[in-house]
Amino acid sequence: MFFQHIYDKTLAQASYLIGCQKTGESIVIDAKRDVDTYLEIAKLNNLKITHITETHIHADFLTGSRELAKLTGAQMYLSDEGGEGWLYEFPHIGLKDGSVIKVGNLTLKVMHTPGHTPESISFLLTDHPASNEPVMLFTGDFVFVGDVGRPDLLEKAAGFAGTKEAGAKEMYKSINKFNALPDYIQVWPGHGAGSACGKALGAVPSTTVGYEKVRNWAFQYPKDENGFVKYLLEDQPEPPKYFAMMKKLNKVDRPLLTEVPKVKKLSKEEFKVAMDKGIKLIDARPKTEFAAGFIPGSLNIQGNNAFATWAGWLLKYDEPFMLIASEAQLDDLTRKLMRIGLDNIYGYVENVSVWTELGNKLETSKVISIDEFDALAKNNGIQIVDLRGESEYKAGHIAKADNVFVGTLQENLNKISKDKTTVVYCQSGDRTAIGYSLLAKNGFKNILNYSGGMSEWANKGKPVVSEN
């Protein structure tokens, strides 16, 4: 058996390519959208991708299953569980609980494991030349290392009212199915630490059924369904805004993108025309470079592992946008964007000098030190804004700070004073850079960036207020 775990650390998303080396057939589970990765792996290992499947209709990334099927001719095997409203709306081979996918000498048996979503399925893999007992379980967003999939995304991100409690109860039933499996089975989940699909995901890529029975909090409620439901639903992180669009695009018949697009480099004249049209500008430089000089109106979303997540919070799918990024960054940034369906890149420029060459001036961020902030915090005339998520804020924040999550800041500008001096902070400065640029774009002039954030504040022994 051939097995490869493919991990996108930017979305903390796992996919898998599994093959029968005797027949040369292989299957891909939960493909990301830049599918050249799988084609290259298959080619290097003398395999042909013949089967494609998914564990559920994903909300956190745009799958590449259909792109991969178009390029390879492979059949798509997708869940037909969940009932009306939860079915894929394009041709596929339907899977139900107990269905079996045969890939050469391998079989993948379907387990219907609802809870995260009604149609969620897991796959029990058996390598028949070695054993007739299953050896691996691919759980998608059902069981993670140390956690289970959150059932509130459908309600919070996709607007399906009243589904979170029902989903939590379904999850409770599903973990009893998991509990009945042999301890030795390897568990390969769909996400790792950093994903918004749970609140306590572990950082290691895989686990075993036995380990999760002992260490995963979800299996500590054998006869307490109410306690399980309560704990599962509380303190979940804010689901990114783009999740609702992913849920739709992964379900419907949509245009396909079978290769990584090439982004146009804009001339000074083209850039000026775009700016005059009001096309949004995303500055992907490091926050320190942005602070030292930025184009007015630009948003600082650093081109790091969180780039796609914050782009998904702040960009609209029907609007074009430009990038400030080096040519060396473009392939990486384009892949990150296409993985969540943000394909509407108008073009890019390599640095902010294009702005000054047009006769314009750059702005600078007003970054303050911990001592400057400490002195200001004693002044009752200022506003302090914590840009972190609600659960982070409750766990510990600076006294008198208001909590306005950076992902929803655009919709909550009325909570920020234009008259007072306002200090913004997050954990270690990255989200503060986004928030500062967003406020500057919206005409706020009295904003100060405490870039050290809660990390520095707490490490220096400054007072922290907790609401837990």
For the chain, the domains span 2-249, 268-357, 367-459
Q: How far is CA 199 from the centre of its chain?
A: 13
- Lowest mean pLDDT across 137-146, 154-163, 411-420: 154-163
Any idea which fold 367-459 has? Oxidized Rhodanese; domain 1 (3.40.250)
pLDDT reading at 347 higher than 80: yes
**In the chain, helix, strand, coil percent, each to 5?**
30, 20, 45
pLDDT reading at 18 higher than 90: yes
- What is the pLDDT at residue 236? 86
Q: Reduced to 3 states, what is the DSSP secondary structure of residue 272?
A: helix
The average pLDDT across 86-95 equals: 96
> Which homologous superfamily is 268-357 in?
Rhodanese-like domain (3.40.250.10)
Q: Reduced to 3 states, what is the DSSP secondary structure of residue 111?
A: strand
Strand partners, 136: 125, 186
- What is the pLDDT at residue 468? 67
Neighbours of 361 (CB within 10 A): 10
- Lowest mean pLDDT across 80-84, 208-212, 233-237, 414-418: 233-237
Phi first, then psi, for residue 226 (nearest 5°) are -65, -40
Phi first, then psi, for residue 37 (nearest 5°) are -55, -50
Question: 210: part of which helix (H) or strand (E)?
Answer: helix 209-215
pLDDT reading at 199 higher than 90: no
Domains 268-357 and 367-459 share a fold: yes
- What is the pLDDT at residue 277? 97
Question: Would you call 137 exposed, middle or buried from its count of C-beta atoms within 10 A (0-12, 13-18, 19+)?
Answer: buried
pLDDT reading at 298 higher than 90: yes
* pLDDT bracket for residue 300 (50, 70, 90): very high
The class that CATH gives domain 2-249 is: alpha beta
